[in-house]
Homo-oligomer: A and B are copies of this chain.
Amino acid sequence: MDTGLPNAAGVSRYAQLAQELRQRIVGGEWAAGAAIPAETELAERFGVALGTVRQAVAMLAAEGIVQRVHGKGTFVTQGLSGPSLLRFFRFRGPTDEPPTARVHRCQTVRLRAAEALALGQQTGDAALRVKRVRLLAGRPVLAEDLLLPLARFEALRALPTREWEDLLYPMLARLCGVTVARANDELSFGHLDAATAALLDLPEGAPAIRVDRQAFDLGGHCIELRTTWGDATAFHYSAEMR
């Protein structure tokens, strides 16, 4: 790996190493939750100084695809757990209770152009469209519409709606080997249509916050499009500016 050159194509050595590690993690050489080799070993194996390895690993840690634990090792992230959309809302009740989910419908559909583009698929490719409701203490609080490309999630097609787990992402990891490392949420405001309002026990036209999510796997590919609706009066979010 030592080329003698300052760095290839203007990319720093640690960035190259980070990319190398990233690919191995995505490729499954080190599984989700498992430890990657110790820094000293990586340094030796790739022929770079310890500091360079540390800088590369720091990049991956900042990207969230790896987590360092002092004294134990560096681990491939387990991925997002799932109840994360609730962070946009403040619902009453025993807050420590985990949310449950009820799948209402799961059908196979063809991707439209915009959806295919976002998911890195071709227009007309097959996908699963899932309608589900998230409940807190048995009370419906969020209505969700998921879109999952069938190419990655064939295993879910035959799954009866009752057997879907409460948390989607751990299920995706277990059944389909897909780890969700990152998600981007776009918030906006709207009013509930009759069907969604009925699901949430709210009047038609009630003010609601809409969250459009794109979820990404370890390789940075978008593997889910999701739209979530929740009561606007329960909306609450904290953002930091600097």
Contacts and interface: CB of A to CB of B under 8 A. Distances in A.
Interface of A: 51, 63-64, 80, 84, 181-189, 207, 209, 232-233, 235-242
A184 B233 contact: no
A182 B239 contact: no
Contact of A189 (B84, B184, B232): B232
A186 B80 contact: no
19 contacts: A63-B242, A64-B242, A80-B241, A80-B242, A181-B242, A183-B241, A184-B238, A184-B239, A186-B237, A186-B239, A187-B236, A187-B237, A187-B238, A188-B235, A188-B236, A188-B237, A189-B189, A189-B207, A237-B239
Interface of A is mostly: strand
Contacts of A182: 240-242
Contacts of A242: 63-64, 80, 181-183
Contact of A238 (B186, B207, B241): B186
Nearest to A241: B183
The 4 closest A-B pairs by CB, nearest first: A64-B242, A189-B232, A183-B241, A187-B237
A232 B185 CA distance: 17
A213 to B, nearest CB: 8
Given A207-B207, A232-B207, A232-B232, A241 B185 contact: yes
Given A207-B189, A207-B232, A239 B241 contact: no
Contacts of A239: 184-187, 237, 239
A32 to B, nearest CB: 14
Nearest to A183: B241
Nearest to A188: B236
Nearest to A186: B238
A64 B181 CA distance: 26
Nearest to A236: B188
A187 B64 contact: no
